[in-house]
Amino acid sequence: MNNNDNQNRTLPETHPRYQSLKYRHKIIEGMKKLVVAEAGLIAHGRGECFDYILGENTNDPAKKAIKAAVAMLLLAKKPVISVNGNTAALVPKELVRLSNAINAPIEINLFYQKKGRIEAIKKVLVDAGAKDILGIDKDKMVTLDNLESNRRFVDVAGIYQGDCIFVPLEDGDRSEALKKIGKKVIAVDLNPISRTAIWADITIVDNIVRALPEMIKITEELKKTEKDQLYEIMDGFNNQKNIQDVLDLIKDYIDEQKEDAFKTLQT
Given the rule CB under 6 A, which residues bind ligand PTJ?
37, 39-40, 43-44, 46-47, 50, 84-86, 110-112, 169-171, 188-191, 194, 207-209
The nearest distance, CB 151 to ligand PTJ, in angstroms, is: 7
Residues 6+ apart with CB under 8 A from 16: none
The nearest distance, CB 190 to ligand PTJ, in angstroms, is: 4
Conformational region of residue 116, where left means phi above 0, alpha means psi within -120 to 50, and beta covers everything else: left
The nearest distance, CB 188 to ligand PTJ, in angstroms, is: 5
If the CB atoms of residues 208 and 222 are measured against ligand PTJ, the closer one turns out to be 208
80/67 Cα distance (integer angstroms): 17
The nearest distance, CB 150 to ligand PTJ, in angstroms, is: 8
If the CB atoms of residues 102 and 121 are measured against ligand PTJ, the closer one turns out to be 121
If the CB atoms of residues 37 and 230 are measured against ligand PTJ, the closer one turns out to be 37
For 155-207, the DSSP string reads ETTTTTT-SEEEEES--THHHHHHHHTT-EEEEE-S-TTSHHHHHSSEEE-S-
If the CB atoms of residues 75 and 123 are measured against ligand PTJ, the closer one turns out to be 123
The nearest distance, CB 157 to ligand PTJ, in angstroms, is: 20
The nearest distance, CB 86 to ligand PTJ, in angstroms, is: 5
If the CB atoms of residues 74 and 209 are measured against ligand PTJ, the closer one turns out to be 209
Q: How far is CA 87 from the centre of its chain?
A: 6
Q: Which residue is nearest to ligand PTJ (CB)?
A: 47
92/86 Cα distance (integer angstroms): 10
For 66-131, the DSSP string reads HHHHHHHHHH-SSEEEEE-HHHHHH-HHHHHHHHHHHT--EEE--SS--TTHHHHHHHHHHHTT--
If the CB atoms of residues 56 and 225 are measured against ligand PTJ, the closer one turns out to be 56
